[in-house]
């Protein structure tokens, strides 16, 4: 089956995780636009990533990027999550918003500190309403591994969302970049992926490794 | 290094997960006492498990079992968790309580429904106070796999607790039964393991498998 190519915007794409996803999605043939609060900075980083990916990656401010994307990824720090979505909300209607936010609360980022209601991403679905299909994904994938194009990534992606076809599409994007995405339930189940990230940070520290990840066992090939 | 053998009580040990842990811990050489609200039922099940394990397993009511255990495991349904602990609390002082509780709320057990405060096990540490070292473990290990003694289990155990040496001891118990335990942070990080169980239930249903589990990648051999 030929994979569909999408226009994908990555808001907060100048950060480590957004840049890593941009590299891999561009190499898989998608048209990627990096978004940032600062459009000029987005263009500078996009030029650097274009060289590394050997594929053209565009840069723009977050609103212009959100307008350009058929699918919009959100990879901003937790503290900027809600404001960023509010700023581009009118550009998201009818689209899929893939939210990779983890509610880390510095300085104790290794301690699970889920927000009231349980999930930072479910809160965005509640904010955005039914016109935006929010999908939670990519929380557990290390930015360092994403950015290291010489290696495949030994990690699965938990994909949560209330819209089943939107989840399937994101599982397809995972496959495009060599990751196995697994449907992990309704959007509120994103709490599991969000909480797990603090556990992985703790494991990285305790066992002196970088980029611990997860695999789900017992489901086909892992 | 010779492993230490412990007197281990398993409250709610007549259930599927408790029985599976009893089988494997007994085979590893520990002295296991199954606990149940109904001591007679505990003795009947203990006799059955003794035959399967080819090791002697005792049965008693929960209070007597808790008194017998140097280490006490809790494997009751969420609805019975707090009442069971309150009932045996005076028998737990100075001991390690290994709590495998997952806050599943029937009928939607595939939906993450963490309690106020975030973690069902952290709530027990708060209840029990400093005289009991509560360790969270075994949430993600399928009862079916535990009970199938013919096979090793392809799953890691996230071990959380505020007392580091108690966590190390539980990681040792995991190793005794062929599981890799990993220190996953303070007791409130148990929220991650608790939430993950509903995700694994969802994955079992969606992918028509039994006993999905997790592995942490990037940390030594998995």
Give residue for tokens 């069902």: B120
pLDDT digits (tens, 9 = 90+) for B159-186: 999 999 999 999 999 999 999 999 999 9
Which residue in the set A119, A198, A212 is minimally distant from B189, CB to CB? A198
Give whole-number Cα distances, A134 to A9, A118, B112, in Å. 14, 16, 17
Contact A47, A59 (CB under 8 A): yes
pTM of the complete model = 0.95
CB atoms within 10 A of CB A209: 15
Length of chain B: 222
| Residues of chain B contacting A, Cβ within 8 Å | 110-112, 114, 118-119, 142, 154-155, 158, 182-186, 188-189, 191-193, 195-196, 198-200, 202-203, 206-207, 209-220, 222
Q: Is B201 a residue whose pLDDT tops 60?
A: yes
pLDDT score, position B19: 97
Q: Which residues of B touch A114 (CB under 8 A)?
A: 114, 118, 191
CB atoms within 10 A of CB A88: 22
* pLDDT averages per 10-residue partition of chain A, 222 residues: 86 96 97 98 98 97 98 97 98 98 96 95 98 97 91 95 98 97 98 98 96 94 55
Structure tokens at A47: 């030029």
Q: How many CB pairs under 8 A join A and B?
A: 136
pLDDT score, position A2: 62
Helix (H) or strand (E) holding A58: strand A57-61
Closest-CA residue of chain B to A112: B189
Query: What average pLDDT score do residues B7-32 get?
Result: 97
DSSP state of A167: H
Distance (Å, rounded) from C-alpha A69 to C-alpha A98? 11
Helices (H), A54-184: 62-68, 78-88, 120-128, 143-147, 164-176
pLDDT score, position B113: 96
Phi, psi dihedral angles at B72 (to 5 degrees): -120, 125
pLDDT digits (tens, 9 = 90+) for B96-152: 999 999 999 999 999 999 999 999 999 999 999 999 999 999 999 989 899 999 999
SS3 assignment for chain B: CCCCCCEEEEECCCCHHHHHHHHHHHHCCCEEEEEECCHHHHHHHHHHHHHHHCCCEEEEEHHHHHHHCCEEEECCCHHHHHHHHHHHHHHCCCCEEEECCCCCCCCCCCCCCCCCCCCHHHHHHHHHCCCCEEEECCCCCCHHHHHCCCCCCCCEEEEEECCHHHHHHHHHHHHHCCCEEEEEECHHHHHHHHHHHHHHHHHHHHCCCCCCEEEEECCCCC
Kindly tell me the sign of the dihedral angle through the C-alpha atoms of A65, A66, A72, A75. Answer: positive
Q: How far is A180 from chain B (nearest CA, A)?
A: 13
Quote the ipTM score.
Answer: 0.95
Closest-CA residue of chain A to B190: A112
pLDDT digits (tens, 9 = 90+) for B55-80: 999 999 999 999 999 999 999 999 99
pLDDT score, position A32: 98
Distance (Å, rounded) from C-alpha A77 to C-alpha B47? 55
Q: How far is B135 from chain A (nearest CA, A)?
A: 15
Contact B142, B197 (CB under 8 A): no
Distance (Å, rounded) from C-alpha B217 to C-alpha B147? 25
pLDDT level of residue B1 (50, 70, 90 thresholds): low
Residue A1 pairs in a beta bridge with none
Query: What average pLDDT score do residues B185-196 get?
Result: 98
Distance (Å, rounded) from C-alpha A28 to C-alpha B87? 58
Provide the 3-class DSSP secondary structure of residue A215: strand
pLDDT digits (tens, 9 = 90+) for B43-54: 999 999 999 999
């Amino acid at each position: 089956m030929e994979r569909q190519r999408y226009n994908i915007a990555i808001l907060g794409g100048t950060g480590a995780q957004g840049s890593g996803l941009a590299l891999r999605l561009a190499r898989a043939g998608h048209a990627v636009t990096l978004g940032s609060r600062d459009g000029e900075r987005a263009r500078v980083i996009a030029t650097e990533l274009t060289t590394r990916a050997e594929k053209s990656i565009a840069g723009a401010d977050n609103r212009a990027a959100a307008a350009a994307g058929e699918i919009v990824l959100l990879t901003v720090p937790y503290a900027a999550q809600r404001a960023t979505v509010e700023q581009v909300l009118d550009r998201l209607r009818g689209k899929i918003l893939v939210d990779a936010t983890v509610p880390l609360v510095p300085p104790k980022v290794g301690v699970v500190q889920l927000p009231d209601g349980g999930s930072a991403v479910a809160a965005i679905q509640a904010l955005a309403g039914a016109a935006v299909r929010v999908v939670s994904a990519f929380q557990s994938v290390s930015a360092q591994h994403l950015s290291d194009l010489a290696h495949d990534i030994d990690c699965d992606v938990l994909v949560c969302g209330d819209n089943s076809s939107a989840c399937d599409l994101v599982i397809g994007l995972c496959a495009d970049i060599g990751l196995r995405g697994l449907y992990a339930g309704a959007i509120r189940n994103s709490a599991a992926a969000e909480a797990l990230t603090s556990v992985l940070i703790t494991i990285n520290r305790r066992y002196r490794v970088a980029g611990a990840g997860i695999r789900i066992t017992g489901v086909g090939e892992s």
